[in-house]
């Protein structure tokens, strides 16, 4: 159950590709008010090639995308967007060493490039380099102008779960819910974390909040069902079981419910 959610969350990092053609994604990092400015773009022709490459990549035309990204970096090797975009492409092409090299270069050129830090962190997490991944997630969050802190915290929390670090994951999801109490992914993961920790009343609260902000999935219904089996909420138990069997009859979770009822 957790693996499904982890995979879905981490994939979102790659969807930030569009931002590869929208600027450097960071700020200069100083202490003065004048330092809080977006980094300037690189060579116009190089930027144009990155944009064209992004378009090709989104169409699945990886050969032409690679040509455009390489052309952009031939023109301007100090273009963080170009390194970020080609890193994402190399990752898709199954070239992890090349991807890591360009992720490193993008964040080296612009240490405040939060999109690149986030995507690189997700990449490292998939490679089971969990501590390095968390370091990159934290660097992404350190940028006060970054608009996707919620996505970073989701990815960081899911990565922490993959690493078996439940405390770290819980901290990320709690901080996310402080800013957005209705964030569905964070609510579901907190329900699951509390269920696993046998904090059943807290788990019930989170899964009820989850159901109030979005439609239940097979996974969330099974979590709710397990909670109510312990707490003895007969009405909610029946509701979760009925919804699971009616809406998701072919799911693994529905099969798990049927098997448990046969015992």
Q: Which of 125, 203, 123, 202 is nearest to 160 (CA)?
A: 125
Strand ranges, E, within 36-89: none
pLDDT at residue 90, as a whole number: 97
Q: Domain-by-domain residue ranges, the chain?
A: 1-168, 181-263
Residue 202's pLDDT band (cuts 50, 70, 90): very high
pLDDT at residue 42, as a whole number: 64
Q: CATH for 1-168? A: 1.25.40.10
As a whole number, the mean pLDDT across the chain is 87
pLDDT at residue 41, as a whole number: 56
For the domain 181-263, what is the CATH superfamily, name and number?
A: Tetratricopeptide repeat domain (1.25.40.10)
Give 128's DSSP letter.
Answer: T
User: 55: part of which helix (H) or strand (E)?
Assistant: helix 44-58
Kindly tell me if the per-residue pLDDT of 112 is higher than 90: yes
Upper half-sphere CA count for residue 31 (Cβ side, 13 Å) = 0
Token couple for 110: 């612009």
Write down the pTM of the prediction: 0.84
pLDDT at residue 171, as a whole number: 98
1-168 with 181-263: one CATH topology?
yes
Kindly tell me if the per-residue pLDDT of 201 is higher than 80: yes
- Rounded CA-CA distance 189/217 in Å is 13
Give 12's DSSP letter.
Answer: G
Residues in the chain: 263
pLDDT at residue 169, as a whole number: 98
């Amino acid at each position: 159950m957790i693996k499904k959610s982890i995979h879905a969350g981490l994939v979102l990092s790659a969807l930030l590709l569009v931002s590869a053609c929208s600027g450097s994604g960071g700020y200069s990092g100083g202490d003065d008010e004048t330092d809080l400015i977006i980094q300037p773009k690189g060579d116009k022709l190089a930027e144009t090639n990155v944009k064209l490459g992004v378009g090709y990549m989104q169409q699945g035309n990886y050969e032409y995308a690679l040509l455009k990204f390489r052309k952009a970096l031939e023109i301007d090797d100090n273009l963080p967007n170009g390194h970020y975009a080609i890193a994402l492409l190399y990752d898709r092409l199954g070239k992890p060493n090349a991807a890591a090299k360009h992720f490193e270069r993008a964040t080296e050129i612009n240490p405040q490039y939060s999109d690149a830090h986030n995507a690189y962190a997700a990449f490292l997490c998939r490679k089971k380099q969990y501590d390095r991944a968390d370091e990159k997630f934290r660097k992404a969050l350190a940028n006060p102008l970054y608009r996707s802190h919620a996505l970073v915290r989701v990815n960081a929390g899911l990565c922490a779960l993959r690493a078996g670090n439940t405390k770290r994951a819980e901290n990320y999801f709690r901080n996310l819910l402080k800013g957005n109490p209705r964030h569905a992914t964070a609510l579901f993961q907190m329900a699951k974390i509390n269920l696993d920790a046998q904090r059943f009343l807290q788990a019930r609260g989170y899964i009820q909040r989850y159901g109030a902000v979005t439609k239940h999935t097979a996974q969330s219904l099974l979590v709710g069902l397990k909670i109510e089996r312990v707490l003895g909420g007969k009405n909610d138990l029946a509701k979760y079981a009925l919804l699971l069997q009616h809406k998701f009859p072919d799911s693994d979770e529905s099969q798990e419910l049927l098997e448990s009822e046969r015992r």
